[in-house]
Amino acid sequence: MTAFFVPRALTLALFEPDIPQNAGTMLRMCACLGVDAAIIGPAGFATGDRHLRRAGMDYLDHVKLARHASFADFEQWRASGPRPRRLVLLSTKASACYFDARFESGDVLMVGRESAGVPPEVAARADMAVGIPMRDGMRSLNVAVAAAMVLGEALRQTRAG
C-alpha cells in the first residue's frame, strides 16, 4: 500500500446501473481508493456479467459492496447507524457545482442510471445535489468519469489530517 493512503468513510452508490462496464469501472475505483460501494437494484445486468467482471478485473474482490434490492432498502440502510448518512446526488440537473460543495466523512455519493438518471422521487430524497460545469450544448459526461471527478474532490476534502 502506498504510504500516503488513508481510508476514507465515503460510499459511492450506483442507482439501478444499466451499463456493466461503467459499474465495473466505478467498483474498481472504489477498491483502489478505499471507498465503500453500494448497488441499488434492480440493475440492468447480472452480478456475474462478463463486461462487469472485465472492467472491474480482480479488483471486484477488494471492494466493500452493499447490495440493496430497492431504493427503499437503501434508504433504510442509510438511516441506520449512529447518525444518518448524507446523500449527495450527482446530477446534470443540479444547480450547485461540485467545486462549491462541502463534503463530509460518511457522505454517500450517488450516481443515477446512465440512460435516465434518477426519478424525481429519488432526487427529492438527496440532502444535496451537485453537478459538473460543462460547455454549453454538452449533455453529460460518462457516469464513471463524473463519479471519479466528484469522488476525488470529496476525498480531498475529507482526508485525514
Whether residue 131 is contained in a domain is answered as yes
* pLDDT tens-digit series, residues 136-159: 998 889 999 999 999 999 999 998
Whether residue 6 is contained in a domain is answered as no
Say what the pLDDT of residue 56 is: 54
Provide, rounded to the nearest whole percent, the portion of the chain with pLDDT above 90: 66
Say what the pLDDT of residue 149 is: 98
Whether residue 70 is contained in a domain is answered as yes
| Structural domains counted in the chain | 1
**Dihedral angle at the C-alpha atoms of 98, 142, 12, 30, nearest 10 degrees?**
-120
Q: Which residue has the cell 451499463?
A: 19
Structural domain harbouring 34: 14-158
Say what the pLDDT of residue 49 is: 58
Q: pTM for the complete prediction? A: 0.90
* pLDDT tens-digit series, residues 31-77: 999 999 999 999 866 677 566 666 556 778 888 889 999 999 999 99
d(CA 57, CA 129): 31
Question: Does 160 score more than 60 pLDDT?
Answer: no
Whether residue 83 is contained in a domain is answered as yes
Question: Does 129 score more than 50 pLDDT?
Answer: yes
Say what the pLDDT of residue 58 is: 73
CATH code for position 19: 3.40.1280.10
